[in-house]
Structure 1
Amino acid sequence: MAKHDAAAEDELSDAANGADSIAESATDDLDTLDHEAEAEEESPSDVKRMSSASVAMLVGLVIVVVAVALTGFLGYRAFQSQQIEDRTNLFLGVARQGAVNLTTIDWQEADSDIQRILDSATGTFYDDFSKRSQPFVEVVKQAKSKSVGTVTEAGVESESGDQAQVLVAVSVQTTSGGAAEQRPRAWRMRMDLQRVGDQAKVSNVQFVP
């Protein structure tokens, strides 16, 4: 009888343990389902946050690219403007000096004065002036003439690439031999300039009213 009771108790104990195991398994399954449900509920939010971050990153990248492009464009425009200004100043400076050279001749230094004119000349003007320079020097020396030119005004009339046309106004003071000093004369010259390498030279000269 005692054996039957012990066996019965063992069976009851095994049954109870089995029930506990089933209950624990069910509880674990429920917990797993709850976690999966929570994960599914958080998923749209995570996607939204990731999407917002991607958009922000893309916008930031676009801003950087635009800023770099704009900076490069403005820098290039500034460089171009500076180049144009430098070229204009070169033409203007050469025209002013060329006008001074043409109107400043001292009979005692006529040869070097004429050479200075030729050094700043090119093209047709160089060819024509070099042919006439020697007779001109002889006349200046015979008359013991001395003239000094001063630029009173100068401006670029037109400019295209390596060429420019400059209008120069000059006041010229002339003395000759023992004659009294003459009143200054006002001359105006239209000068064509041609760029030669890093320099610019006078390619043509016209006296204008």
Structure 2
Amino acid sequence: MFAAIAAGVTLVVALVGAGSWLFVQQNNAIEAAVERNVVDERRNAVMEVARETVLNLTTIKPETVEQDVERILAGASGAFEAEFDGRVDPFVSVVKEAGVTTVGTILETGIESEDGNTTKVLVAARADVSTPNGTEGGPRDFRMRVTVTDDGGVMTASQVEFVP
């Protein structure tokens, strides 16, 4: 009888131990999944900023060039903003004078590196170019590295470079 009671107590202790271990493992798995989702959401947001930046840079029309430039500058910061902002008037003049329209398409994006609040994203894009006389039109492919900076939850393109 004593052996049966001891076996019963041992079984209960083993079941409680196994249940506790499973509970801890489940909580760890849930925490890991939540953390992965947060990281994935941040990476998706960063890639969206990079895509939007390149799309804005490759979609310019003479009749809306001022608004196109405002859209580019609205998502810019740092060196990219300073460089682009200093050339707005000549850029607008050239686009209007040439009458060239470009319509961008994003082909692919991928994260190159992450460092704190800064992420470098590679973006492959195509700009379909049309000229008033139709002689120099056609698709142009670009590869760009967009540095996206997260400043307290506000993500902007702080640098844009062409990649050979």
Q: Normalising by structure 2, report the TM-score.
A: 0.88
RCO (CA 8 Å, sep 6+): is it higher in 1 or 2?
2
1:148-186 CA distance string (max 9 Å, x none):
111222222122343211111222222334453512222
Within 2, Cα distance between the matches of 1:52 and 1:152?
A: 66
1:149 maps to 2:117 = no
Within 1, Cα distance between the matches of 2:136 and 2:93?
A: 21
Equivalent position amino acid for 1:50 in 2: I
In percent, how many aligned pairs have the same letter? 32
Higher helix proportion, which one?
Answer: 1
Within 1, Cα distance between the matches of 2:80 and 2:40?
A: 26
For the pair shown, the structure with the greater C-alpha radius of gyration is 1
Conservation of the 8 A alpha-carbon contact between 2:121 and 2:148: yes
1:106-128 CA distance string (max 9 Å, x none):
11111110011111112221122
Higher strand proportion, which one?
Answer: 2
1:162 maps to 2:131 = no
Moved more, 51-60 or 72-81: 51-60
Q: Normalising by structure 1, report the TM-score.
A: 0.71
What are structure 2's unaligned runs of at least 5 residues?
A: none
Aligned residues: 164
Within 1, Cα distance between the matches of 2:96 and 2:138?
A: 21
- Cα deviation for residue 73 of structure 1 reads 0.4
- Cα deviation for residue 62 of structure 1 reads 0.9
Q: SS at the partner of 2:138?
A: coil
1:61-89 CA distance string (max 9 Å, x none):
21121111000001111111212222222
Within 1, Cα distance between the matches of 2:52 and 2:134?
A: 28
Alignment RMSD, CA only? 1.9
Equivalent residues in 2 for 1:9-158 (5 A)?
45-46=1-2, 48-158=3-113
What are structure 1's unaligned runs of at least 5 residues?
A: 1-44
Q: SS at the partner of 2:137?
A: coil
What is aligned with 2:144? 189
